[in-house]
Amino acid sequence: MTDDGGAEVTSRGVCWSTTENPTTGNNKTTDGSGTGSFTSSLTSLTPGTEYYIRAYAINSEGTAYGNQVSFTTGAIQLASLTTDAAGSITQTTAISGGNITDDGGGDVTARGVCWSISQTPTTADSKTEDGTGTGTFTSNLTGLSPGTTYYVRAYAINSAGTAYGNEVSLTTEPVHLATLTTDAVSSITQTTAVSGGNITDDGGGNITARGVCWSMAAEPTINDSHTEDGTGTGSFTSDLTGLNTGTTYYVRAYATNEAGTAYGNEVSFTTEPLIDADGNVYKTVIIGDQLWMAENLKTTKYNDGTDIPLVTDGRKWASLTSPGFCWYDNDRESYGDIYGGLYNWFAVNTVKLCPDGWHVPDIEELNIIAGYLGGEAIAGGKLKETGTTHWKSPNTDATNESGFTGRPGGFRSRIWDTKCYGKFGHLGMFGYWWSYSAYDANTAWIGELGYNTGSVVGNHVDKGKGLSVRCLKD
């Protein structure tokens, strides 16, 4: 202020506006009184805006203004920030954050980190929201996928837009195989048992299948027999079915997640054997859905412990209309263990011939086994024991791939001809097995295997004949 106009200057400063020729009615400073130089600080300006300024001085005559000048404020810039390295990484979470060192001249209204499996993530991807303002902040990344690489950038938003920090990357921990144990086997019968397991750690993944697997060989896998007992962790119970009698099995619990299939410890057990009333122990075999004896019956007692009448005399055998049995040629020592006994159908019809829980099959059940093995034309070869130790050559088409191990036990007739009673025949040539099904009053259905054919033959014969018996599990 170079001249006070002859009166004391009582107030001075500058006034400004976004329009020309601002007055003290607009924004102004008050910077003392008197003449001379003064400095004014203009505040609360809007970024990137043109303002007009005039100095003013007030004395008793009024308000005088200086020349008008103008200026434009600087625009708000994007904030400046850095991204923290990721830490505390698990399969599904991690920690990062950032440091906003410059707000760019504007208020930081939002900040956090954003991430993606693709590089250069933005706030359009997954992100955190960690307050406002400058300085450091910490961000918790959640909902990540195991074994996956993510790219992360801190972000800060002001009125100029969204700024991003440097990019960092992280890889989450992969899913591991589950951890589990196998339960001891209990409730063991001839054909069933109970086990299970406990999944104590899912390995960071989803347990999509669990159960137990078993085999007659050690270290069973899900490619062997197995149960399917739901999903998830924790304890479960498994019912093992379709087992063979008197057989040792190895069992492991299993659990499947994204990493693969894990197995628990191995346990073993032996099913109850098949024993008749005499104490004879029998091998068995599973064919399709049926469990069969794998050798011929050789009991001398019914399953209630009473004796089956042993009939050696030929004439007496020929006249029987009641239960009876014998050994081929009445020679138990030579033939009993190899071929079993020969029983008439009247003994079969008592329904006490087989051990408890087993029965002589009916004709439909005999047809089922033939059908499972491809039909009567080829099933015989699959049912016959191989070789010519017990079968007469050529033992046509014998493979025994079923495990049935059919042997040619022959038969005992009633009357061979008018002069021969109770004669034995066909040992080594043919095997005949009773069914429970009667054909008529005098005959019943049988299944027949021969040395010279690969087929199985269904036939019906005199109920008084002595034939082999195979028992089938109920």
Q: What CATH code is carried by the domain that includes residue 118? A: 2.60.40.10
Say yes or no: 330 and 409 in one domain. Answer: yes
Is residue 187 included in any domain, yes or no?
A: yes
Say yes or no: 95 and 130 in one domain. Answer: yes
E strand or H helix at 68: strand 62-72
State pTM to two decimals.
Answer: 0.70
Say yes or no: 93 and 214 in one domain. Answer: no
Over 123-168, what HEC string results? CCCEECCCCCCCEEEEEEECCCCCCCEEEEEEEEEECCEEEEEEEE
Cβ atoms 194, 187 nearer than 8 A: yes
Residue 418: what pLDDT?
65
Say yes or no: 39 and 188 in one domain. Answer: no
Q: Which of 270, 296, 311 is a domain's end point? A: 270
Edge-to-edge order in the sheet of strand 225-226: 225-226, 209-215, 248-257, 260-270
User: How many domains does one find in the chain?
Assistant: 4
Residue ranges making up the domain that contains 188:
182-270
Is residue 390 included in any domain, yes or no?
A: yes
Is residue 404 included in any domain, yes or no?
A: yes
Say yes or no: 352 and 442 in one domain. Answer: yes
For 280, residues 6+ apart whose C-beta sits below 8 A from its C-beta are 298, 299
Q: What CA–CA distance (Å, rounded) separates 155 from 166?
A: 9
Say yes or no: 143 and 259 in one domain. Answer: no
Is residue 395 included in any domain, yes or no?
A: yes
Say yes or no: 156 and 266 in one domain. Answer: no
Residue type, 179: T
Q: Which of 25, 47, 72 is a domain's end point? A: 72
- For the CA atoms of 455, 460, 464, 465, the dihedral, rounded to the nearest 10 degrees, stands at -20
Say yes or no: 318 and 353 in one domain. Answer: yes
Residue 467: what pLDDT?
98
Residue 419: what pLDDT?
73
Is residue 377 included in any domain, yes or no?
A: yes
Say yes or no: 380 and 416 in one domain. Answer: yes
Say yes or no: 300 and 199 in one domain. Answer: no
Distances (CA, A) of 216 to 187, 243, 252: 18, 10, 12
Is residue 32 included in any domain, yes or no?
A: yes
Give the three-class secondary structure for 70: strand
Angle between helices 363-372 and 376-383 (to 10 degrees): 90
Residue 420: what pLDDT?
82
Residue 415: what pLDDT?
84
Q: What stretches in the chain show pLDDT beneath 50?
A: none
Q: Which of 270, 293, 312 is a domain's end point? A: 270
Is residue 3 included in any domain, yes or no?
A: no
Q: Residue 458: name the closest of 351, 342, 380 by CA.
A: 380
Residue type, 413: S
Say yes or no: 198 and 153 in one domain. Answer: no
Q: What CA–CA distance (Å, rounded) separates 239 from 222?
A: 15
Is residue 19 included in any domain, yes or no?
A: yes
Say yes or no: 378 and 447 in one domain. Answer: yes
